[in-house]
Structures are given as structure tokens and as C-alpha cells.
């Protein structure tokens, strides 16, 4: 499944200057679900993976203040980007097409920032669902640029669907 910018905006409640996903490049279901149609439970989606993209250029508003003349994308924004990417796996768990998803970031673990993110950089954001306990989900997330690992963390989030 791919999503363009309009579909991303239809799915996520975030807006500029706090939207950090441009497109969804692919969503890969766990092997056990290949050939099946959803909706699936979150438990069934363990092992599912999403790949998103984001272009870091001078138009990214947060760069105006971090830091003028030497812009660097803050680590907290990278974590938010990974959390936003992770939420797209829920598209296969929606009870109906009209259901809206409510996501709350609950925690991060082992965040590592290996290289500064500066304009212009094309980022690829990966998120893999690793655990589910009720409405709580854990994701292993990574950001790459030109195939190089830039940052990574584990994200814990709560997901709820509203009709």
C-alpha cells in the first residue's frame, strides 16, 4: 500500500508545522497475513512494517529556530517522525473505512542519533510492530538517508478507533 501526501493528510491529524511524513512508500504485512484481507487485529499485525518518506529542506519550520544559519532537525522531531510513521500500520486494523484513529505516544526507549539531519536530506522512516498488549503497541523504528542509519528508537503508543 502506498499513500501520497493527500492520503497522509486524510489519515494523520497532524498539520504543518508538525507533520513529518510526506508519503507512505510501502506497508508490508506479516507473512502469516499474505493473501488475506483485513481488518486485522493488532496482535495479527506483529511483524508488519511501514516505510515512509520525508524531505528535510529549508521550508521545514522548526529549522528556523534550531539553529539559525546552521539548521539541524531536532532529535525530538525525529522521534515524532518515527511515531507518526508507526501509526500507519493501523490502517489494516481499522474496523471500518470511516473509523478515525486516535494515537497517543506513551514512551520511547533507547533513542540513538547517529548523524545530524540537515537540509537537504531525503529521509526514509521504517517502523516495525514488535509487541501488542491490549491497546498498547511497541514499534522498532529507524530513520535512514541514502541507506545510512541516521537514528533509531523503540516507540510505545496507545491506539484507539473512533467511529
Q: What is the CATH number of the domain that holds 78?
A: 3.10.129.10
Asked if the structure places residue 124 within a domain, the reply is yes
Judge whether residue 8 has pLDDT over 90: yes
Q: Is residue 42 part of a domain?
A: no
Reply yes or no on whether 66 is catalytic: yes
Percentage above 70 pLDDT, the chain: 99
For 115, the grid coordinates are 548523524
Res. 47 pLDDT band, cuts 50 70 90: very high
Residue-range definition of the domain harbouring residue 112 = 5-34+48-63+70-162
Q: What is the pLDDT of residue 38?
A: 84
Domains: count for the chain: 1
| Residue 22 clears pLDDT 80, i.e. is over it | yes
Span 104-152, pLDDT tens digits: 899 999 999 999 999 999 999 999 999 999 989 999 999 999 999 999 9
Q: Does residue 90 register a pLDDT over 90?
A: no
Residue 159: predicted pLDDT: 84
> Which pLDDT score, from 0 to 100, does residue 58 have?
93
> Is-contact 42 159, C-beta < 8 A?
yes
Mean pLDDT within 55-83: 95
pLDDT at 1: 81
Strand order in the sheet with 136-145: 23-28, 49-56, 121-133, 136-145, 148-162, 100-113
Strands (E), the chain: 23-28, 49-56, 100-113, 121-133, 136-145, 148-162
- Out of 14, 25, 66, 94, the active site residue is 66
Q: Determine, yes or no, domain membership for 24.
A: yes
Q: What 3-state class would DSSP assign to 17?
A: coil
What phi and psi values does residue 16 have, to the nearest 5 degrees? -55, 135
41 falls within a domain:
no
* Any domain includes 39: no
Amino acid at each position: 500500500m502506498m499513500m501520497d501526501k493527500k492520503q497522509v493528510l486524510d489519515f494523520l491529524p497532524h498539520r504543518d508545522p508538525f507533520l513529518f511524513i510526506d508519503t507512505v512508500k510501502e506497508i508490508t504485512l506479516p507473512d502469516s497475513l499474505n493473501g488475506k484481507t483485513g481488518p486485522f487485529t493488532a496482535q495479527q499485525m506483529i511483524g508488519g512494517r511501514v516505510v515512509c518518506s520525508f524531505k528535510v529542506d529549508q521550508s521545514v519550520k522548526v529549522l528556523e529556530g534550531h539553529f539559525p544559519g546552521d539548521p539541524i532537525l531536532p532529535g525530538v522531531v525525529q522521534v515524532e517522525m518515527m511515531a507518526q510513521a508507526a501509526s500507519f500500520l493501523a490502517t489494516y486494523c481499522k474496523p471500518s473505512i470511516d473509523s478515525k484513529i486516535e494515537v497517543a505516544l506513551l514512551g520511547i526507549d533507547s533513542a540513538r542519533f547517529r548523524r545530524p539531519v540537515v537540509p537537504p536530506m531525503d529521509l526514509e522512516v521504517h517502523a516495525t510492530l514488535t509487541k501488542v498488549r491490549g491497546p498498547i503497541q511497541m514499534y522498532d523504528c529507524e530513520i535512514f538517508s541514502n541507506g545510512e542509519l541516521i537514528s533509531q528508537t523503540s516507540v510505545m503508543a496507545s491506539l484507539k478507533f473512533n467511529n
